[in-house]
Amino acid sequence: MFTRRILLGLVAATALAGSSTMAFAEDKPYIALVSKGFQHQFWQAVKIGAEQAAEELGAEVTFEGPDGEGAVDRQMDMISAAIAKKPTAIGIAAIDSQATVPLLKTAQKDGIPVIAFDSGVASDIPLTTASTDNLASAALAADKLAELIGGSGQVAIVSFDQTSQTGIERRDGFVNQIEAAHGDVEIVAIEYGGGDHLKSAEITKTLLQAYPDLKGIFGTNEGSAIGVAIGKKESSSDVVVVGYDSGKAQTDAVRDGTIAGAITQNPVGIGYEVVKAGIAASKGEKLEPHIDTGFYWYDKSNIDDPTIQAVLYD
């Protein structure tokens, strides 16, 4: 079923790519979504959810993002272009929670409701944020890693950035939970690989050399976790890896034991909720400050359970 959904998403993406000036039905709300990236399966799944909501609710959507999750300037250009189209509402997953604010002020001035998704913005301009509870989910990852290494020892974090609210909260959620609940676990390093699996792999190999007693590593998103898994394999290490997200490379690594387990989000739900919220906001409906789209822990023991299978995006 998911393969069919991906094909539908790719068809839609191809149609969008073929025309830079897309005409929208005047009687349909148009929701413009700008994500952090486009290359990871996570974002493709968010796109599918947005398209499902648009079809069910009678809206038009566009979904775009830069090639890499560190491309702040490219994302800013995309946001500017989206605002210029005068959409009914705009959804933003900000790479840089501070840098995006001036553009969102422009949208607000133009009367365009702003909805944040996945990653919040350092402003009260977004009417709501549709996202995972990153602090709570990262705390769960900390509990699981501490349990897997026997409650003591050195661990490290390989994160994707320290500018987005998502990156900050996943780092801090993990760190805070280790400090609060696992006093015999020591975080010896926090490194940033930009969500790039090759860079994250090199960081992992360096960490394993620098800290020969390292017992565990937390990779805070899809690219980070895949990179940590690659670095572990290339170093022939038995370090325990806990990841975040659930693209195919990551679920394969869980199945073969390279990654002990991971947090999965509900990206289809995120995409659906941001479009739903955008339409509601355009009608003047009051929104809750946060739309919690949920998260789950998965490992070899439950990866094939129907509840987990429904939220994997591999």
Per-residue confidence band for 38, with pLDDT thresholds at 50, 70 and 90? confident
* pLDDT value of residue 26: 61
Backbone angles phi, psi at 115, to 5 degrees: -120, 130
- pLDDT tens digit sequence for 90-139: 999 999 999 999 999 999 999 999 999 999 899 999 999 999 999 999 99
CA atoms of 176 and 183, how far apart (whole Å): 11
Residues of the chain with CATH 3.40.50.2300: 2-132+267-294, 134-264
Least confident span in 29-33, 68-72, 246-250: 68-72
User: CA-CA distance, 66 to 309, in Å (whole number)?
Assistant: 28
Residues ≥6 apart with Cβ < 8 Å to 27:
none
Q: Is the pLDDT of residue 12 over 70?
A: no
Q: Which DSSP helix (H) or strand (E) runs through 76?
A: helix 72-84
CA–CA distance, 289 with 4 (Å, rounded to integer): 33
Please give the Cα distance from 228 to 244 (Å, whole number): 11
252 Cβ contact list (under 8 Å, min separation 6): 314
Question: In angstroms, rounded to a whole number, what is the distance separating the alpha carbons of residues 73 and 75?
Answer: 5
Q: Structure tokens of 122?
A: 């350092």
Considering the four listed CATH numbers 3.50.50.60, 1.10.3720.10, 3.40.50.1000, 3.40.50.2300, the one that applies to the domain covering 134-264 is 3.40.50.2300
CATH class of the structural domain 2-132+267-294: alpha beta
115 contacts 279 by C-beta, under 8 angstroms = no
Segment 221-266, tens digit of pLDDT? 999 999 999 999 999 999 999 999 999 999 999 999 999 999 999 9
Are 44 and 6 within 8 A, CB to CB?
Answer: yes
